[in-house]
Amino acid sequence: MRTKKLLNNVLKIVLPLTLGGGILYWMYRGFDFTRIREVLLYQMNWTWMLLSLPFGILAQAFRGWRWKQTLEPLGEKPRAFVCVNSIYLSYAVSLIIPRAGEFARCGVLNRYEKVSFPKALGTVVTERAVDTIIVLLITAVAFLAQLRVFVNFFSRTGTRIDDILGRFTATGWLVTVVCGIASVVLFYFVLRRLSIYNKVKETLTGIWQGVLSLRGLRNVPLFLFYSVAIWASYFLHFFLTFYCFDATAQLGMTCALVSFVVGSIAVIVPTPNGAGPWHFAVKTMLILYGVADVQALYFVLIVHTIQTLLVVLLGVYAWMSLGFTKTRVLLGNPDAGQTDTRNIYQQILFNNP
């Protein structure tokens, strides 16, 4: 039993890293990494990069504030700063195990705010449904605005519906199969995560209540504002980095929007922070807009690395902040006080109750 459990834990971490690492190796084979230092020190405008970072922080903060609002109709009133910290931590956890962050933030609220885990998970499902609608709307706008560019993109990447089977090389089939297997493995671990509570009926009921929580929102305009602000912040976090490099500074907002959409879709593949698929998708779009191959590689490598470091720093901050946070004291639980954060992280990552 312990061997099987250890194997499962190893696979959760190794498979996404292997998939992302394989794609990155294929993209950067033969790449001259020695020039990165020169680009960072002499060819990059750091002012725009620094201006982009607050929007990365705001995007996650808005998500935390929106989550607090969706929980209120269910009778749950978590503290706003705990909600925000749980979001910061969830993104950092997902760097280790893709998508595990969704369960991590529910576990944080359950631990510190005594929020029902199934209810919290249900509101996460609701949020993801809303986010999906927003992404689809953004995609539609970008698609209609740059239809010709998208046709070129699908053609170059071998994803045209009419000739997809004929265009796939052996490497293309291999990447497709590997990504499919990774998605199946992710779904398996999602089901395993739900099963640790051994209360299927209660869990499903809580999830359904969370899904229906939007019906009881007291301030719908505020919810809509948070939802739009989340994605506007994500976009600005990405768009402002275009001005960091001469090769992308003149491309404009439309190119940034199209690249943002394609990158957002690419991160569905379960790799740490989209590493690999995001690089490939955004690089391809930049090349279609006339950016040289090497310059496109510099852009995606530097931007993704810095934005990932921001996620790590926010996760460390949240971990430290929660370490000094007392759990909410409920009636009948007078002994609740300072928490041991190690227990919850072990439960989230390794299913050790």
What SS3 string covers 7-42? HHHHHHHHHHHHHHHHHHHHHHCCCCHHHHHHHHHH
Given a cut of 80, is residue 118 above it in pLDDT? yes
Q: How many domains does the chain have?
A: 1
Given a cut of 80, is residue 103 above it in pLDDT? yes
**Predicted local confidence at residue 4, as pLDDT:** 62
**Predicted local confidence at residue 334, as pLDDT:** 43
- The angle at the Cα of 277, spanning 40 to 132, to the nearest 5 degrees, equals 110
Q: Which residue has the tokens 């109750």?
A: 353
CB 56 within 8 A of CB 233: yes
Confidence of residue 319 (pLDDT cuts 50, 70, 90): very high
**Predicted local confidence at residue 123, as pLDDT:** 86
The predicted model scores a pTM of 0.77
84/196: higher pLDDT: 84
- Residue 155's domain comprises 2-350
Given a cut of 70, is residue 314 above it in pLDDT? yes
